[in-house]
Amino acid sequence: MTDTARSRLQRILSEGHLAVTSECGPPRGSDPEAIKTKAEIIKDYVDAVNITDNQTSVTRLCSLASCIHLKLMGIEPVLQMVTRDRNRIAIQSDILGAASFDIPNILCLSGDHQSFGDSAQGQNVHDLDSMQLIQTVRLMRDEGKFLGGAEVKRPPNMFVGAAANPFADPFEIRVPRLAKKIAAGAEFIQTQCIYNLDKFEAWMKGVCDRGLDEKVHILAGVTPFKSAGMAKFMKNRVPGMDVPDEVVKRMADTPKEKQAEEGINICVESIERLKSVKGVHGFHIMAIEWEQKVPEIVERAGLSPRPKID
Amino acid sequence: MIVAEKKPIEEIIEQVEDCEKLLILGCNECVTVCEAGGKKEVGVLASALRMYFLNQGKEVRIDEVTLERQCDHEYLEEIREVADQYDAIVSLACGVGVQFVAEKYHSQRVYPGVNTCFLGATEQRGLWTERCQACGTCILAYTAGICPISRCAKRLLNGPCGGSSNGKCEINPELDCAWQLIIDRLKALGRLEDYEKLLEIKDWSTDRAGGPRKVIREDVQI
Amino acid sequence: MRLSYPTNIRIIRVPCSGKVDIIHILRAFEKGADGVCVVGCIEGDCHFKTGNFRARKRVEQARKLLESVGVGGERVKMYNLSSGEGPLFARYATEIVDIVKALGPNPIKRFKKNAA
């Protein structure tokens, strides 16, 4: 892992602290207050904030502009970038644009298929895939080159991340797939929401057995349930999501008015257990449209205050 | 083969409504195999159109011809003598055939009678599925003989994505995840370790991105 | 058993209802038939296993196409019965004739006559 210095997230991780990130989804409109308000709520409780890139293929204010808003507020953004909507020209151009504002982190994704969103009749690009996007950022940063071979003046200085879903199929390639992302150049990983802790631990064991935990910082993804309905929805409707029956039952057995609190309890308990899993270097708290609960989760999980890095 | 699907007859009627003499031109190749534009489909369309026009009180002459191929000069020449007798030709060939007819009979109105869908195989009678997108640089050697460009909804060269679930694609539970198929076959070949080889960024200039393509074989040219 | 059924039905024998293709049904209408009924064996009792199922699908296709071109899809109907069910055949024959009579003549004949 090369030290790109400017990323606070990277410095926290390399100094051995447990990192905390969260995410905000930009609005479906041009009012920046929506994203700024969300970020304001969580800024003292996290090290960096991911900004999603037209998540679930629903058109929103762009990730790059949202990241700039955060940056100008003094909050460290993680630029999420999907390969669905941009070819290699746009990708490299947006990376430079982000670097011009010193946005120090990027998360490389392929993106949800457009059929899930508001533009199901649109084209998808996928000129590159997520691994090749990782390679592209690393090439631009480390070798100061464009994909076309020309020199990049003032190369982007970005901490490069990728996503991992330990629960998607086929399970047997989940560890090799992580190895592949690391080989492509990923320096940190944010995982899919973890509800099946046993399966996650089995995956992490595979990761550690191959020594991959030495090569990459893994931030375990958690998402609190707001209700039993949300737990059922995540279990049944979200592809690649693994929610064990007992978790759904625990939510369903809780009286409706206490379900939100129980969702937070489950989330905090998960973080506590995950803290002791070898190779877990931090947490990525995805409180979907529930940012106001992030401070509580961070505090109750004993992750507050965040370390000061200058 | 090229797989096509019959156009709704309403769409064809809209194009030829004003005609008095029509030629329905079938093709004996791919569209015959996928039952969209062979001799039989020519007969059905012609019969239905005749009834449509009669019902409108119009007597329209509708002739039926099915050529060996519509993507070859020599076969298309077979209608040279008659082509200009018609107000329009409805070609039931793939998009290639339709265009070749239009090129050859420059001042003749030519309409497509099918939607050309993809390059695919007959999985079973009445079921055709995509196998190739003619990207111009075959990578099947690196993907266990299964093409992620045509069979993965995100054409991921280094898949699967997080949406692969029980061997199926997140966009449709009936669709196989191409990368699951690749991994299964790598296993069957005893080469699962090949999965970890990164497929490099693809040169899409041989795909449609590079503009209309051409294959030239000087050694076989006359 | 002397059963009577409408005399305006012309029977065309085929080895199996599976032999009936959509083009045969269309041609009948093109030549001026007012209705077509395809009579196949009881489903599950096809001597060729699936002939009558195929016929049913083709009849369905013909109905759609005839509807699209304005002749009317209801003019085609498929019945299933066994060879021992003469009275049922007579009943079905009467039924299709009643259906078609209610629909009136095949509309294309209005112009076909003029043209001829």
Side-chain-side CA neighbours of B102 within 13 Å: the count stands at: 14
Give the helix/strand (H/E) hosting B3.
strand B2-6
Closest residue to B51, CB basis, from C22, C30, C115: C30
Instruction: Give the chain B residue whose CA is nearest to the CA of A183.
Output: B198
Return the percentage of chain A with pLDDT > 70, whole number. 98
Kindly state the tokens that stand for A133.
Answer: 């996007």
With 0-12 CB in 10 A as exposed, 13-18 as middle and 19+ as buried, what is A164?
buried
Q: Give the pLDDT mean for A75-104.
A: 98
Q: Give the pLDDT mean for B124-151.
A: 97
Nearest residue to A71 (alpha-carbon basis) of A105, A41, A45, A20 = A105
- b/e sequence A201-231, b meaning 16+ C-beta within 10 Å: bebbebbbeeebbeebbbbbbbbbbbbbebb
Average pLDDT of chain C, as a whole number? 93
CB contact under 8 A, B183 and A124: no
Return the percentage of chain A with pLDDT > 90, whole number. 95
- b/e sequence C82-98, b meaning 16+ C-beta within 10 Å: eeeeeeebeebbeebbe
Is A28 within the bounds of a domain? yes
Q: In which residue are the tokens 């990207």 written?
A: B135
How many structural domains is chain A composed of? 1
Is A146 within the bounds of a domain? yes
- Side chain identity, residue B42: V
Is A309 within the bounds of a domain? no
Band (pLDDT 50/70/90 cuts) for residue A3 is very low
Q: Give the pLDDT mean for B204-217.
A: 96
For residue A56, give the 3-state DSSP assignment: helix
Q: How far apart are CA B182 and CA B176, in angstroms?
A: 11
Kindly state the tokens that stand for C68.
Answer: 């699209």
Is pTM beyond 0.90? Reply is yes
Angle formed by the axes of helices C51-68 and B39-55, nearest 10°: 40
What are the domain boundaries of chain C? 17-109
pLDDT beyond 90 at C55: yes
Angle formed by the axes of helices A88-100 and A63-72, nearest 10°: 10
Kindly state the tokens that stand for C53.
Answer: 């199922």
Cα–Cα separations (whole angstroms), residue C78 to A36, C61, C81: 67, 12, 10
Q: Give the pLDDT mean for B107-132.
A: 97
Q: In which residue are the tokens 């111009």 written?
A: B136
Query: How much is the pLDDT for A309?
Result: 82
Number of neighbouring beta carbons within 10 Å of residue A255: 7
Return the percentage of chain B with pLDDT > 90, whole number. 97
Query: How much is the pLDDT for C1?
Result: 67
Give the gyration radius of chain C's Cα atoms: 15
Q: Is residue B148 within 8 Å of B157, Cβ to Cβ? A: yes
Domains of chain B, each with CATH number or no CATH: 2-118 (3.40.50.2300), 133-204 (no CATH)
Side-chain-side CA neighbours of C49 within 13 Å: the count stands at: 0
Which residues span the domain enclosing A144? Answer: 8-300
Judge if the upstream peptide bond of residue A170 is cis by omega within 30 degrees of 0: yes
The pair phi, psi for residue A290, each rounded to 5°, is -150, 35
Side-chain-side CA neighbours of B206 within 13 Å: the count stands at: 10
* Subunits adjacent to chain A (3 or more Cβ pairs under 8 Å): B
Kindly state the tokens that stand for A202.
Answer: 């089995």
pLDDT beyond 80 at A4: no
Q: How far apart are CA B213 and CA B215, in angstroms?
A: 7
Q: Is residue B186 within 8 Å of B144, Cβ to Cβ? A: yes
Q: Is residue A161 within 8 Å of A78, Cβ to Cβ? A: yes
- In chain B, which residues have their Cβ closer than 8 Å to the Cβ of C66? 48, 51
Q: Give the pLDDT mean for A153-174.
A: 95
CB contact under 8 A, A179 and B201: no
Closest residue to B9, CB basis, from C27, C68, C108: C68
- In chain B, which residues have their Cβ closer than 8 Å to the Cβ of A168? 160-165
How many whole angstroms from its chain centre is CA C38?
Answer: 4
Q: Give the pLDDT mean for A208-217.
A: 98
Q: Is residue A26 within 8 Å of A52, Cβ to Cβ? A: yes
Listed in sequence order, the residues at least 6 apart from C43 whose beta carbon sits closer than 8 Å to its beta carbon are C52, C53, C56, C80
Query: How much is the pLDDT for B168?
Result: 95
Q: Give the pLDDT mean for A151-170.
A: 96
Which long-range contacts link C39-46 to residues 24+ away (Cβ below 8 Å)?
A: C39/C78, C39/C79, C39/C80, C39/C81, C39/C89, C39/C92, C40/C16, C40/C78, C40/C79, C40/C80, C41/C17, C41/C80, C41/C81, C41/C82, C41/C83, C42/C80, C42/C81, C42/C82, C43/C80, C45/C82, C46/C16, C46/C17, C46/C18
Is any Cβ of chain B less than 8 angstroms from the Cβ of A22?
A: no
- CA torsion sign, A163 to A167 to A173 to A174? positive
What are B162-206's pLDDT values in tens digits? 989 899 999 999 999 999 999 999 999 999 999 999 999 999 999
Contact present, C and A (at least 3 Cβ pairs less than 8 Å)? no
Give the helix/strand (H/E) hosting A37.
helix A33-42
Domain with A156 in it: what CATH number? 3.20.20.220
Q: How far apart are CA A43 and CA C78, in angstroms?
A: 71
pLDDT beyond 80 at B56: yes
* Beta strand pairing call for B2-6 and B21-27: unpaired
- Side chain identity, residue A306: R
A95 sits in the region (left: phi over 0; alpha: psi -120 to 50; else beta) called alpha
pLDDT beyond 70 at A51: yes
Choose from B133, B135, B152, B154 for mutation: most chain A CBs within 10 A. B154
Average pLDDT of chain A, as a whole number? 96
Is A307 within the bounds of a domain? no
Choose from B54, B59, B64 for mutation: most chain C CBs within 10 A. B54
Q: Give the pLDDT mean for A32-37.
A: 95
Task: Provide the shortest C-alpha distance from residue A131 to chain B (in Å).
Answer: 7
CB contact under 8 A, C23 and B44: yes
- CA torsion sign, A125 to A127 to A129 to A134? negative
Is any Cβ of chain B less than 8 angstroms from the Cβ of C31?
A: no
Query: How much is the pLDDT for C113?
Result: 61
